[in-house]
Chains A and B, each alone.
Chain A
Amino acid sequence: MSLVAAARPRRLGRLHVPKVTLAHGGGGKAMKDLIDDVFVRAFDNPALAPLEDQARFDLALLTARGDRLAFTTDSYVVDPLFFPGGNIGKLAVYGTVNDLAVGGAVPLYLSCAVIIEEGLPVDLLRQVAQSMALAARDAGVEIVTGDTKVVDRGACDQLFITTAGVGVTRPGLELGAGRAQPGDTVLVNGVLGDHGAAILCARGDLALETPIESDCAPLYRLIAALLEAAPGTRFIRDATRGGVATVLNEIAQTSRVAIEIDEAQTPLREEVKGFCEILGLDPLYLANEGKIVAVVPSAQCEAALAALRADPLGRDACAIGRIGEGEPGRVTMRTTLGGRRIVDMLVGEQLPRIC
């Protein structure tokens, strides 16, 4: 059911040129044609159609679904725009939807602001918009408002997208990075590092051919199932930039607890392992776009794992570690060899080693 009042249908403009030019950002008819033809046509929903400056929602319908509004935003600047397993549009929808879902919210609406470098092929923009529309349908959200800017060549890299998302959180649900307690178990929903490895490969400058695809996926249903099965869940976070290592450090620092993970239990695709070996990268710091780290009370660990594994996006879910009583704020790893090392926050970007 849509929470937005229906509007009268209107005739959509058409775009007849192959490339976006500065004229399409000028506010006139060219811009209206671009928005109509590319975005409104793809996103097609009653809240967007009237092209008001804002989408309007009935508060009563929102409050019927929860007692708190969840609101988030994220920008997407991925290079290349299309990569194995996804593209910038899919990422821009799933990324923001997941940011809502990990807090326990039901994702409902997205905004979509695009910054386009002049010269971008219109067909490419159409593909991205259609991909966003598909992803939104898949994730059960509507893209209800947006903005378009066109900038000079060189002022941005082809296409940047910013999406903001609104969702509703049901009463009683309290998740937070500060809620982990000694004895809790740390879970992930599958193999790590696929997105980061896929993007690095897709850039082409490594001359490595791999079958690695981005894990880009909407996680709302998986998370809902997890929360249903393990209502005591303390915290969930999607392990995007900075990877699992960064999320674990946030939990350790915020909850003032120690976390020990077990390298042998850390699920990795063979190809990602090999990729990291060759480049001297640590898969714990590689980005994911369809993976969560969840902290659950150990008594609910089995139920949580069963719920995750019942979903195709959580088939390879496993427990990778536990919250311990060691030095607060510190994440350590038991290595496959039997040694122990610290897993710290990354300083900057991971840079490949020379030899």
Chain B
Amino acid sequence: MKYVDEFRDHAKAQALIAEIARLVSRIETARQRPLHIMEVCGGHTHSIFRYGIEGMLPKEIELVHGPGCPVCVLPMGRIDDCIAIAERPGVVFTSFGDAMRVPGSKKSLLQAKADGADVRMVYSPIDALALAREDPDREVVFFAIGFETTMPSTALTVLQAERDGIRNFSVFCNHITIVPTIKAVLDSPDLHLDGFLGPGHVAMVIGTAPFEFIARSYGKPMVVAGFEPLDVLQSIWMVLKQIAEARCEIENQYARIVPEAGNTPALRAVSQVYELREFFEWRGLGSIDHSGIRFRQSYARFDAERKFAVANVKIADPKSCQCGEVLKGVIKPWQCKVFGTACTPEAPLGALMVSSEGACAAYYQYGGVRRDDAA
């Protein structure tokens, strides 16, 4: 496939791996301990497992799978809120596919659907708006999740609904922002990271400037990375090159998609519709200041939280669940007490086991070949 196969080329991958090994041999630290590079984004985690990248890297490099899987960091309470909305008579509750399996305290959206709630999978918020248009007597609610990558599409959908005068459409907003979360990870005392692969599709929207603090204040290199396997390998090489040359910058490997300044019309739509929340609850990570967004007062009529007086249920993560430590990279997925026993993709305890972008599900499904070696 044109413009895809080029980014999965075996010979080029081998050449990059050889260059990565050469750089690693120049880095003094790597002789004492492995270098920890965190890929922030779940899309990268997926690519790393899908192509078996981890097993191709020199042993001195350890990839830490970061908090950037929006499905994985949804707290149970929010899922319970979803189900409460979905089970109201007259509501059509729409969601992206992989959010439907996330467990709430009693059930998931898929189970709520089986119990009779009208839950439908959609591929875009515009599809949900179309349902509202077709069926003016039902209340259509869209379950909005995701980082800055998906925010513009829900914001633009709301603006469209406003223009078209559609009244039976609302959004249950669970959008989250990546920057405060990376900061929370960096502030975590039990963590040691040597560099980051930056979230390419978030940067496509917000640009690269918001990540500057990582280099400036925390002295860590970051390379904004694309999602094809050669993108990932080249970005790892770029992080290592910074380490080897004792540099510390925010570099952009994904320049074919990511403009340095981001996408101004998209950002304008987002800030027209949304504002920052004071704090937002993350699964495994707890409450993080300014890490979520909500509707501005002027768009309150599209806010499902206000329309349905959502209870904002708070449910503690299961005690045995170590999602937080995995998200922060403190432990590897298979080191969690319940990995593969009480927590499996069939019956996930923690959200990291649900989405294919979740580190635990990825390990369970695709298996770290290195994990076998270690075992």
User: With the chains together, A51 CA to B143 CA distance in Å?
Assistant: 54
Would you call B97 and A277 a contact (CB within 8 A)?
no
The residue of chain A having its C-beta at the shortest distance from the C-beta of B153 within the complex is A355
Given contacts A338-B10, A338-B56, contact A354 B366 (CB under 8 A): no
Complex partner residue of A354 from B52, B54, B98, B230, CB under 8 angstroms: B98
| Contact in complex: B1, A340 (CB < 8 Å) | no
Binding site of A, secondary structure by majority: helix, strand, loop or mixed?
loop
Supply 11 further A-B pairs (C-beta < 8 A) apart from A338-B56, A354-B99, A355-B201: A279-B123, A337-B10, A337-B52, A340-B52, A348-B101, A351-B101, A353-B98, A354-B70, A354-B145, A355-B43, A355-B70
Nearest chain A CB to B204 CB, angstrom units: 11
**B374 CB-CB contact with A under 8 Å:** no
A344 CA to B49 CA in the complex, in Å? 13
Give chain A nearest CB distance to B15 CB in angstroms: 11
Q: Complex formed: what's the CA distance from A174 to B28 in Å?
A: 61
A206 CB contacts on chain B under 8 angstroms: 123
Q: How far is the CA of A205 from the CA of B124 in the complex (A)?
A: 10
How many Å lie between the Cα of A351 and that of B122 in the bound state? 11
Within the complex, the shortest CB–CB distance from A332 to chain B, in Å, comes to: 8
Ordered by A's residue number, 23 sampled pairs between the chains whose C-beta atoms are within 8 Å are: A205-B123, A264-B10, A273-B4, A280-B46, A333-B52, A337-B56, A338-B13, A339-B52, A339-B229, A339-B369, A341-B51, A342-B365, A342-B367, A347-B346, A353-B355, A353-B356, A353-B357, A354-B70, A354-B98, A354-B99, A354-B146, A354-B150, A355-B150
Q: 1/0 contact trace for B39-55 toward A, CB 8 Å?
A: 00001001001111111
Say whether A354 contacts B71, CB under 8 Å. Answer: yes
Most B Cβ at <10 Å: residue of A264, A280, A332, A351:
A351
Q: How far is the CA of A340 from the CA of B366 in the complex (A)?
A: 9
Minimal beta-carbon separation of A78 from chain B (angstroms)? 18
With an 8 A cutoff between CB atoms, is B149 at the interface?
Answer: yes
Q: What separation, in Å, do the CA atoms of A348 and B14 have in the docked complex?
A: 35
Q: Are the CB atoms of A277 and B201 closer together than 8 Å?
A: no
Cβ of B121 and Cβ of A273 under 8 Å apart?
A: no
Mask for A267-306, Cβ within 8 A of B = 1, else 0?
Answer: 0001001100101100000000000000000000000000
Q: B1 and A337: CB pair below 8 A?
A: no
Provide the bound-state CA to CA distance between A336 and B52, in Å.
10
In the complex, B236 has a CB within 8 A of chain A:
no
Q: Does A335 contact B (CB under 8 A)?
A: yes
A312: interface (CB < 8 Å): no
CA separation between A353 and B372, bound complex, in Å?
27
